[in-house]
Amino acid sequence: MFLPAQPIYPVAGIREIEARAMPGAKPSLMERAGRAAAEDAVRLIMDRPGPILVACGPGNNGGDGFVLARHFRQAGREVVAAFADDAARFPADAATAYANYRNSGGDTVSSLPAAPADGWALVIDALFGIGLTRPLEGRYAQWVDSLSRVPSPRLAIDMPSGLDTDSGRVLGTCFRATHTTTFIALKPGLLTLDGPDHAGEISVQRLDVDAAGWLQPLGRAVRPSLFAHRLQPRRRNSHKGSYGDAAILGGAPGMCGAALLAARAALWLGSGRVFAGLLDDAAPRVDVAHPELMLRAASALPEQLSALAVGPGLGQSDSAHGLLSAAITRDLALVLDADALNLLAADPALQAAVTARSAPTVLTPHPSEAARLLGCDTATVQNDRLAAALALSGRLRAHTVLKGCGSIVACPDGRWFINDSGHPGMASAGMGDVLTGLITALLAQGWDAECALLAATHLHGCAADRLARDGIGPVGLSAGELIGAARSLFNGWLTEAARNGF
Ligand SMILES: NC(=O)C1=CN([C@@H]2O[C@H](COP(=O)(O)OP(=O)(O)OC[C@H]3O[C@@H](n4cnc5c(N)ncnc54)[C@H](OP(=O)(O)O)[C@@H]3O)[C@@H](O)[C@H]2O)[C@@H](O)CC1
Ligand SMILES: [K+]
C-alpha cells in the first residue's frame, strides 16, 4: 500500500495549528509531546543500561525535556537533567513541566557532566526547537558540539538544536542526532539542505492533533500516493504511438553522453519512441548499446512530438540559443535543463517566452542554475531553497525541481513538495540528465507536469537507494546504472497500484 504524503509546515503554520489546538487541550500539548518523545526514547534504550542525559533549554523545547525526564524518573530510570538557564523565565507550560519534574524529586545540573564509565544509555537534546531565532554560540554551542560527539544514540526533541526549522540551515552549530522525534507534523528544515545530515531517523508524533484539519498544508513529503492515480496498467490493445514521442535536444561537441543518458532514461521509462537531436556534427548516428534510439541532427527533430527536453549537453552556442528559442514556442510539454537554464537566465526575451507558454514547462535547476535564473548567488538560494523554488515557479509559470539534498518540487500555484529519497552517491555526472529523461518519458506518456515531476524525482532517488542496498553505491554509483533500477521500481509501482485498485 502506498503511504500517505505527510504534510509539512514551516514555523508559522505549526504556530497557527498550535494556537488552535492548544486552548483547553487535556493533557496539554507539552505533556503529550514529552510523553511521545519518552516512548520513542524507550525504543532506543531497550538493550542499553545506564543513565540518560537530557539537556534542557530556556523555552518550551526545554519543557518537553523535563516532561520526558519526569516520566523516566517515575519509571525508575536514572536521568541527569542539564539546565543552565533561569527557571523563573520559563514560559508557562515549561514552568509547569519544570515544577512537576522537581516535585517528582528530580534535580538539575548546570554544566554538562562527564560521561559515566559505561557511557550514557541515551543523550537527549531538548535545548531548542522551532523557537530558535539566531545562531548558537557560547555555552549552548559548546553543549551541542559536545553532545554530538557522544557515542550513544542521540535523540533530538522536535528539531536538532541549531537547525533552522524553515530552511534546514545550520545556525552556528547543530546537534547531530541519530533520531529526531518531531511534533504535530514534518518541518521543511528536517528534510532539505543540512537537515537530513543532522536529524537522523525521523519520527513524527502527531499528539492527536489533526494538523491538516486545522490548516490546509501547502507542503507535503513526496510519496507515490501523490501520483498513484497515474500509475495505470497499459491497455493490451495499444501500440508505440500510444506512449508518446519523446525527444532530447542537446549533445554539443564533447557532451553527447549527456543527451544519450537522458534519451536512454526516456526509453526505459516507457516512451513509445525516443529521439535525440545532437548539436555535435560529428556525433554518432546510432547508439550501438541502444539502437532503439533515433539519433538526429539537432535541427532535424520531428515536427510532431509529445514531449521535448532541451539542455543535456546543450552548451551555450548561438545555435543552442536558436534551438532553445524555437523549442520554447512549440506547443508541447517542455523540460528545460542544464545549459537551457543558463541561456534562459541570460535572456529576458526567452524568459518572457517561457512565461507566455500555455503548454506545461518543467525546470530542473541545481542551486547554481537557480541562482542565475533568480539573479542572486548560490548561497542565497541555499539559504532558503523553498522560497527560491517557489519564486522560480511563480516567475516563469513553470513546475520546478530545485535539486540537491531534499529536492524541492514547486508548483506555479504555490504548493510545494520535498523529496526525501536518494543519497549523496547521486552527486555524480549524468544524474541530472537521467532525471530529465525520466520526466520527459512521463510527460510523453500524457502525465501532467506535477505528477511527472513528482514521480520522476522520487523514482530517481528510490532507484539510487535500492542500488545502494544491493552494494551498488552510494560511492561510485554511475548515472547509467540508475536507469535499469528506475525501470524496475516503476514497474513495481504499477503492480502495487493495480493491486490497490488505483
Ligand atoms: N508547536 C507545538 O505545538 C508544540 C511545541 N512544543 C515545544 O515547544 C517548542 C517551541 O517552544 P518555544 O517557542 O518556547 O521555542 P524554543 O525552541 O524552546 O526556544 C525558545 C527559547 O530559546 C531562546 N533562543 C532562541 N534562539 C536562541 C539562541 N540561538 N541562543 C540562545 N537562546 C535562544 C529564546 O530566547 P529569546 O530569543 O527570547 O532570547 C527562548 O527562550 C517546540 O519546538 C516544541 O519542542 C511542545 O511542547 C508542544 C507542541
Ligand atoms: K531540540
- b/e map of 435-469 (b: 16 or more CB within 10 Å)? bbbbbbbbbbbebebbbbbbbbbbbbbbbbbbbbe
Rounded distance from Cα 48 to ligand 1 centre (Å): 30
Rounded distance from Cα 40 to ligand 2 centre (Å): 14
Residue with cell 514556442: 329
Mean pLDDT in residue range 56-64: 98
Residue 94: which pLDDT band, with cuts at 50, 70 and 90? very high
Percentage of the chain beyond pLDDT 70 is 100
Q: Under a CB-based contact definition with an 8 Å cutoff, are residues 428 and 480 in contact?
A: no
Mean pLDDT in residue range 27-40: 97
Rounded distance from Cα 63 to ligand 1 centre (Å): 9
Rounded to two decimals, the ipTM of the complex is 0.98
Rounded distance from Cα 97 to ligand 2 centre (Å): 16
Listed in order, strand segments (DSSP E) in 67-113 are: 79-83, 108-109
Q: Under a CB-based contact definition with an 8 Å cutoff, are residues 430 and 422 in contact?
A: no
Q: Is 132 in the pocket of ligand 1 (CB under 6 A)?
A: yes
Rounded distance from Cα 488 to ligand 2 centre (Å): 40
Residue 21: which pLDDT band, with cuts at 50, 70 and 90? confident
Mean pLDDT of the chain, nearest integer: 97
Query: Helices in 159-278 by DSSP H: which ranges?
Result: 188-191, 195-199, 211-214, 256-268
- What does the longest C-alpha to C-alpha distance in the chain come to? 81
Q: Is 185 in the pocket of ligand 1 (CB under 6 A)?
A: no
Q: Is 133 in the pocket of ligand 1 (CB under 6 A)?
A: yes
Question: Residue 22's pLDDT is what?
Answer: 76
Pick the ligand that lies closest to the CA of residue 198.
Answer: 2
Q: Is 158 in the pocket of ligand 1 (CB under 6 A)?
A: yes
Q: Which atom, in ligand 1's list, is nearest to the CA of 126?
A: 45
Question: Residue 479's pLDDT is what?
Answer: 98
Mean pLDDT in residue range 347-359: 98
State which amino acid sits at residue 128: F
Kindly report, residue by residue over 158-169, the tens digit of the pLDDT: 999 999 999 999
Q: Is 287 in the pocket of ligand 1 (CB under 6 A)?
A: no
Residue 1 has pLDDT above 90, yes or no: no
Residue with cell 549527456: 258
Question: Residue 501's pLDDT is what?
Answer: 80
Q: Is 217 in the pocket of ligand 1 (CB under 6 A)?
A: no
Ligand 1: which residue has its CA nearest to atom 11? Answer: 60
Question: Residue 178's pLDDT is what?
Answer: 98
Pick the ligand that lies closest to the CA of residue 37.
Answer: 1
Question: Residue 496's pLDDT is what?
Answer: 94
Question: Residue 502's pLDDT is what?
Answer: 77
Kindly report, residue by residue over 416-461, the tens digit of the pLDDT: 999 999 999 999 999 999 999 999 999 999 999 999 999 999 999 9
Identify any residues that bridge with 105 across adjacent strands, giving them in sequence order. none
Q: Is 364 in the pocket of ligand 1 (CB under 6 A)?
A: no
Kindly report, residue by residue over 178-209, the tens digit of the pLDDT: 999 999 999 999 999 999 999 999 999 999 99
Q: Is 129 in the pocket of ligand 1 (CB under 6 A)?
A: yes
206, 200, 158: which is closest to 179 by C-alpha?
A: 200
Q: Under a CB-based contact definition with an 8 Å cutoff, are residues 407 and 388 in contact?
A: no
Ligand 1 pocket test: which of 136, 158, 215 has the largest number of ligand atoms within 8 Å of its C-beta?
A: 158
Q: Is 134 in the pocket of ligand 1 (CB under 6 A)?
A: yes
Identify any residues that bridge with 416 across adjacent strands, giving them in sequence order. 219, 410
Ligand 1: which residue has its CA nearest to atom 44? Answer: 61
Fold for domain 7-221? Rossmann fold (3.40.50)
Kindly report, residue by residue over 233-281, the tens digit of the pLDDT: 999 999 999 999 999 999 999 999 999 999 999 999 999 999 999 999 9
Question: Residue 271's pLDDT is what?
Answer: 98
Residue 72: which pLDDT band, with cuts at 50, 70 and 90? very high
Strand order in the sheet with 245-250: 7-8, 219-221, 416-418, 408-410, 399-402, 361-363, 333-336, 307-310, 245-250, 273-278, 294-297
Q: Is 60 in the pocket of ligand 1 (CB under 6 A)?
A: yes
Ligand 1: which residue has its CA nearest to atom 27? Answer: 132
pTM: 0.97
Rounded distance from Cα 126 to ligand 2 centre (Å): 4
Rounded distance from Cα 18 to ligand 2 centre (Å): 17
Q: Which atom, in ligand 1's list, is nearest to the CA of 127?
A: 18
Kindly report, residue by residue over 107-158, the tens digit of the pLDDT: 999 999 999 999 999 999 999 999 999 999 999 999 999 999 999 999 999 9
Q: Which residue has the higher pLDDT, 21 or 390?
A: 390
Q: Is 62 annotated as a binding residue?
A: yes
DSSP 3-state assignment of 216? coil
Rounded distance from Cα 161 to ligand 1 centre (Å): 10
Q: Which atom, in ligand 1's list, is nearest to the CA of 67?
A: 47
Q: Which atom, in ligand 1's list, is nearest to the CA of 28?
A: 48
Q: Is 61 in the pocket of ligand 1 (CB under 6 A)?
A: yes
Q: Is 44 in the pocket of ligand 1 (CB under 6 A)?
A: no
Whole-angstrom Cα distance, residue 204 to residue 198? 16
Strand order in the sheet with 154-157: 108-109, 79-83, 52-56, 122-126, 154-157, 179-183, 201-205
Residue 23 has pLDDT above 80, yes or no: no
Q: Under a CB-based contact definition with an 8 Å cutoff, are residues 269 and 490 in contact?
A: yes
Task: Give the CA dihedral 452, 347, 325, 300, nearest 10 degrees.
Answer: -90
Q: Is 125 in the pocket of ligand 1 (CB under 6 A)?
A: no
Rounded distance from Cα 57 to ligand 2 centre (Å): 8
Q: Is 253 annotated as a binding residue?
A: no
- Residue 499's φ and ψ, nearest 5 degrees, are -65, -35
Residue 102 has pLDDT above 90, yes or no: yes
Q: Is 274 in the pocket of ligand 1 (CB under 6 A)?
A: no
Residue 478: which pLDDT band, with cuts at 50, 70 and 90? very high
CATH number of 236-499: 3.40.1190.20
Q: Which sequence spans correspond to the domains of the chain?
A: 7-221, 236-499
Residue 10 has pLDDT above 80, yes or no: yes
Whole-angstrom Cα distance, residue 377 to residue 339? 17
Q: Read off the DSSP letter of residue 112.
A: P
Mean pLDDT in residue range 407-421: 98
